[in-house]
């Protein structure tokens, strides 16, 4: 359940942060600048979301303030079930749902998944020895304030100061309860992040700084501009949508988001895995390659349905109509794109990456672009003129994609079963391993280490499939309990070349030396001994 929730809510944001960080670090060549740019880009992208959630929060607070006198009167006058019934009646008269109170905390709730995603991603980056401006090492706490033998961390204090200033502006005139809640949250972040790596704290400090700028503009400068009457002309009143139109737009959006998720997260991975299930067998990440399909599906479901649904939820009626039209067009175009294009594009890796990249000929690009334009125009016409067809079409396409995806998954499962593959359970590190290979303490030992791209557990199956290899390796000893780091060669080679002093654990204990230097040290150990 934890993995499912992570894939739905956190992994999409982590992928977004990773994409921005990768692009920015390549452009700037500096991790510190890349972290700041991630904060800038993320804040720009989610600004409309925060702006809308702030507007919803203000409306919620205004509504609660209007109802507060009568709510207090009812709570004071009545008791038990009678109080409950009177409150429910009053809420119904005011067209208010108590569950709507979540809107008042939506802006706060929005920060939690972004914090977890940023924390998880930035904590996974090796920033040992990387400095930025006055920060000596982004992988550890900054220790910038020296008070004799005591060293204090400056960035968490700055982060908290920006947070409190931003809250003071935003909550001006609000209830005492809201102010106390924000103060407690700011102090909680200070405690959690005080000893964290300065790279992570730098990201959250910049986030709080941009939040302060946002509140300064929206709470102080914005009202001043409104009082001057600027930008107030030319605004048109939009017609209020009927309940039927609202439900129709919501259903179209949900079906469109589900169809895109099924194509990109279920059908395409299922087709790739079923084409060669053995290539997706991994003793490091997945017990069975079929689980790769479902993990990918839940991530795409999180991108399009969960986070797309959050954007849809906070949007106004006319924006929801636009979003439902966009998702309707994209989903139908995605089906055509999968069925008509993308054949024989090269070898795809278990990470779902095409080795040589996506390459299309000029005729393919021209034909596909023309078809997408025509199809999009047709989708828009159907959406506007024949709205009743949109949802049935999406339903039929969803059913078709599901059938194809289930068939591909079934084929992959059967091939794995027929191949007789077994999956070893994940075990912890055993520190009491007895060496199998005997070495002489008095004579000369020469050990030849052969490093290749094979995974140890596959070796018996390879020999069964290739009898000529079995004969060629006659006389060699197969050691089944050897360890492979799989695709992570950067972790495995130092240990092979340098011994136990260069295991990942031993190397991580030397935080004052860069990874590059430790790699080069390991490479020199064998030649030096020989």
| pLDDT at residue 517 is higher than 70 | yes
Q: Hey, what are 516's tokens?
A: 């590059």
Confidence of residue 451 (pLDDT cuts 50, 70, 90): very low
**pLDDT mean over 117-122:** 84
In angstroms and rounded to an integer, the radius of gyration of the C-alpha atoms of the chain is: 29
Look at residue 427 in the predicted model and tell me its pLDDT: 46
Confidence of residue 108 (pLDDT cuts 50, 70, 90): low
**pLDDT mean over 309-317:** 79
**pLDDT mean over 128-133:** 75
Give percent above pLDDT 90 in the chain.
1
Q: Phi first, then psi: give them for residue 132, nearest 5 degrees.
A: -155, 120
Higher-confidence position of 339 and 288? 339
Look at residue 428 in the predicted model and tell me its pLDDT: 47
| Cβ(153)–Cβ(195) below 8 Å | yes
Write the Ramachandran bin of 29: left for phi over 0, alpha for psi from -120 to 50, otherwise beta: left
**Domain extent listing, the chain:** 2-228, 243-418, 456-529
Other CB atoms within a 10 A radius of the CB of residue 292 amount to: 21
Q: Which residue has the tokens 């409150």?
A: 87
Which range of 181-185, 297-301, 310-314, 339-343 scores highest in mean pLDDT? It is: 297-301
| Cβ(133)–Cβ(32) below 8 Å | yes
Give the C-alpha separation, 381 to 392, whole Å. 16
Please, is 260 exposed, middle or buried when counting C-beta atoms within 10 Å of its C-beta (0-12, 13-18, 19+)?
buried
**pLDDT mean over 208-234:** 66
Average pLDDT, the chain: 77
C-alpha angle 71-75-79 in degrees, rounded to nearest 5: 145
pLDDT digits (tens, 9 = 90+) for 24-41: 888 888 888 888 888 888
| pLDDT at residue 74 is higher than 70 | yes
| Cβ(325)–Cβ(255) below 8 Å | no
Higher-confidence position of 105 and 259? 259
Give every CB contact of residue 423 below 8 A, 6+ residues apart in sequence: 283, 287, 288
Numbers of helices and strands, H then E, in the chain: 21, 2
Look at residue 403 in the predicted model and tell me its pLDDT: 92
Confidence of residue 230 (pLDDT cuts 50, 70, 90): very low
CA distances from 398 to 87, 257, 322, 343, 358 (A): 43, 10, 21, 22, 26
Give the C-alpha separation, 179 to 174, whole Å. 7
């Amino acid at each position: 359940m934890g993995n499912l929730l992570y894939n739905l809510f956190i992994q999409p944001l982590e992928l977004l942060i990773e994409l921005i960080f990768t692009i920015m670090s390549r452009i700037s060549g500096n991790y510190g600048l890349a972290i700041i740019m991630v904060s800038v880009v993320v804040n720009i992208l989610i600004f409309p979301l925060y702006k809308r959630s702030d507007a919803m929060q203000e409306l919620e607070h205004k509504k609660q303030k209007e109802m507060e006198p009568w709510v207090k009167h009812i709570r004071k006058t009545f008791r038990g079930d009678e109080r409950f019934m009177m409150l429910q009646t009053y809420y119904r008269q005011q067209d208010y749902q108590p569950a709507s109170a979540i809107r008042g905390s939506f802006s706060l709730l929005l920060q939690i998944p972004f914090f977890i995603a940023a924390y998880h991603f930035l904590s996974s980056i090796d920033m040992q020895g990387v400095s930025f401006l006055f920060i000596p090492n982004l992988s550890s706490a900054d220790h910038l304030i020296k008070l004799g033998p005591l060293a204090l961390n400056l960035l968490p204090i700055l982060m908290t100061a920006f947070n409190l200033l931003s809250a003071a502006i935003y909550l001006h005139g609000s209830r005492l309860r809201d102010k106390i809640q924000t103060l407690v949250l700011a102090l909680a972040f200070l405690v959690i992040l005080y000893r964290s790596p300065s790279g992570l704290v730098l990201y959250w400090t910049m986030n709080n700084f941009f939040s302060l700028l946002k509140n300064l503009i929206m709470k102080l400068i914005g009202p001043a501009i409104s009082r001057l009457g600027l930008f107030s002309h030319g605004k048109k009143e939009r017609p209020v949508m009927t309940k039927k139109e609202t439900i129709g737009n919501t259903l179209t959006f949900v079906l469109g988001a589900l169809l895109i998720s099924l194509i990109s997260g279920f059908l395409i991975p299922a087709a790739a895995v079923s084409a060669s299930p053995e290539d997706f067998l991994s003793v490091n990440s997945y017990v069975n390659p079929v689980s790769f399909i479902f993990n990918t599906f839940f991530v795409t479901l999180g991108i399009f349905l969960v986070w797309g649904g959050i954007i849809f939820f906070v949007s106004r009626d006319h924006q929801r109509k636009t979003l439902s039209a966009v998702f309707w067009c994209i989903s139908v175009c995605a089906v055509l794109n999968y069925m008509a294009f993308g054949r024989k594009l090269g070898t795809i890796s278990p990470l779902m990456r095409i080795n040589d990249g996506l390459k299309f000929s000029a005729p393919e690009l021209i034909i596909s672009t023309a078809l997408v334009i025509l199809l999009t125009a047709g989708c828009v016409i159907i959406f506007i003129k024949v709205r009743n067809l949109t949802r049935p079409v999406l339903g039929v396409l969803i059913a078709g994609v599901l059938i194809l995806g289930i068939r591909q998954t079934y084929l992959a499962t059967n091939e794995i079963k027929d191949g007789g593959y077994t999956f070893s359970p994940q075990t912890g590190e055993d520190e009491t391993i007895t060496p199998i290979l005997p070495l002489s303490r008095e004579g000369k030992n020469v050990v030849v280490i052969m490093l290749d791209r094979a995974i140890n557990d596959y070796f018996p199956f390879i020999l069964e499939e290739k009898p000529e290899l079995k004969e060629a390796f006659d006389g060699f000893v197969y050691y089944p309990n050897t360890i492979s780091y799989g695709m992570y060669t950067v972790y495995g080679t130092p240990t092979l070349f340098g011994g136990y002093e260069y295991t990942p654990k031993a190397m991580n204990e030397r935080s004052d030396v860069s990874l590059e230097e430790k790699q080069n040290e390991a490479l020199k150990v064998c030649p030096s001994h020989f």
